[in-house]
Structure 1
Amino acid sequence: MAKPRMVALALIIGFALGGVAGQKLHAQSHPPAYVISEIEVTNPDAYAKEYVPLANKALADSGQKRLASGGRTVSLAGAPPASRVVVSVFESMEKAQAAYSSPAYVDARKLGDRYGKLRIFAVEGLAP
């Protein structure tokens, strides 16, 4: 009687471990998405006070990890970049798209468009 119980317990544990491993592999199969924002700020004070706090909160709540934000930027080839550049990473392209179409960010963006010209795009990264 004990042997069938041990076999059943081993099967249950095996299925559980397999399910956890499968979820981790599935999560790793999505390549990250890098979002690049180029911003020509036309009203620095209003941009910093009104748009930035709302946009930062909306994007952070959506899973954004900021890699670079407004630091020194140099042109290596082609046209010079905008006056402000932000580089972020999301877990996937779908999460990046969801973040930038979320109601909280869309509301913030209405202010951003009043105080600057924004160009934002995403590029799919290499799978880990």
Structure 2
Amino acid sequence: MKGYWIILGSDVTDPEAQRAYGKLWAPIAEKFGAKLKSLDSGAALKEAQTTRRVVVVEFASYERALACYADPAYEEAKQHALKASKRELLIVEGDFA
């Protein structure tokens, strides 16, 4: 079954850190076959207090999603993401459309 990261984020408060995250994320995503799924956060968020952005990242398997998160290269990238905005990240298994 596929694996997904579901990221609930606040507005980006540090655009430079967000850009750094994007640069570091690109090769990691390629390594793990991660695919960003388009989601209109404005339409999807029905009961949000601090969440302003929703990002879904699809992996071929739950194991790949876990391995990506545990990868040392992602640890470095994650530090930029956490500086860029407040967020919560869930890793789930399933077969979502």
Check the 8 A contact 1:62/1:99 in 2, yes or no: yes
Runs of 4+, deviation exceeding 6 Å: none
For 2:2 and 2:81, the matched residues in 1 are separated by 26
More helix per residue: 1
How far, CA to CA, are the matches of 1:36 and 1:56 in structure 2?
Answer: 17
Q: Distance in 2 between matches of 1:64 and 1:85?
A: 16
Which of 47, 51, 57 in structure 2 is aligned with 1:88? 57
**Is 1:42 paired with 2:16?**
no
RMSD: 2.2
Gaps of 5+ in 1: 1-30
SS at match of 1:36: strand
1:63-91 deviation per Cα after TM superposition (whole angstroms, max 9, x unaligned)? 1111126x442323x33572222111111
- TM (norm. structure 2) is 0.78
* In 1: Cα distance, 2:78 partner to 2:29 partner: 11
Query: Structure 2 unaligned runs (5+)?
Result: none
Is the contact between residue 59 and residue 100 of structure 1 (CA under 8 Å) also seen in structure 2? no
Distance 1:111 1:47 in 2: 5
Structure 1 position 113 matched with structure 2 position 94: no
> What secondary structure does 1:73 align onto?
helix
Query: Equivalent pairs: percent with the same residue?
Result: 29
Query: How many Å separate the matches in 1 of 2:30 and 2:53?
Result: 19
